[in-house]
Amino acid sequence: MVKNIAYIGDSESIKGFSAVGIDSVICNEAENAAAVLKTVSDKDKYAVIYMTEELFEAARKEVAKLSLQTIPAVIPIPGARGNTGIGSRRLSAFVEQAVGSDILFK
């Protein structure tokens, strides 16, 4: 079964992603982020789910549950409202865990 890519974000952030074949899911309220993520991930349709950093932070408990599975990978990226640094910090933590030192951002 072929798995797709989804992007969950506010209506301003998701503009253009559909043009490159990514399924865009609008979530304009941070308090709805966990429910939207759960709905999208339950479809067993996506290998990768991108989320704006703001929504990723709001859905942290649901993200933690999904991180115990191989797929889907939930990846935070900056949205139209700007970069909060969550994605960079998370990448740094993964590299440090794998290598034993933060070789990317030091």
* Predicted confidence band of residue 27 (pLDDT cuts 50, 70, 90): very high
The fraction of the chain above a pLDDT of 70, given in percent, is 82
pTM higher than the cut 0.85: no
Q: How far apart are CA 106 and CA 98, in angstroms?
A: 16
Q: Lowest mean pLDDT of 35-39, 49-53, 64-68, 90-94, name the range.
A: 90-94
Gap between the Cα atoms of 32 and 102, Å rounded: 33
CATH 3.40.50.10580 describes domain 4-99: yes
Residue 73 makes CB contacts below 8 A (sequence gap 6+) with: 47, 48, 49
User: In which band, very low, low, confident or very high, does the pLDDT at 1 lie, cut at 50, 70 and 90?
Assistant: low
For the segment 72-96, what is each residue's pLDDT rounded down to a tens digit?
Answer: 999 999 887 777 777 677 767 666 7
CA distances from 87 to 1, 32, 84, 93 (A): 29, 20, 8, 10
Evaluate whether 6 touches 50 at the Cβ level (below 8 Å).
yes
Backbone angles phi, psi at 24, to 5 degrees: -100, 135
Q: Where are the domains of the chain?
A: 4-99
Residue the block writes with tokens 């479809």: 43
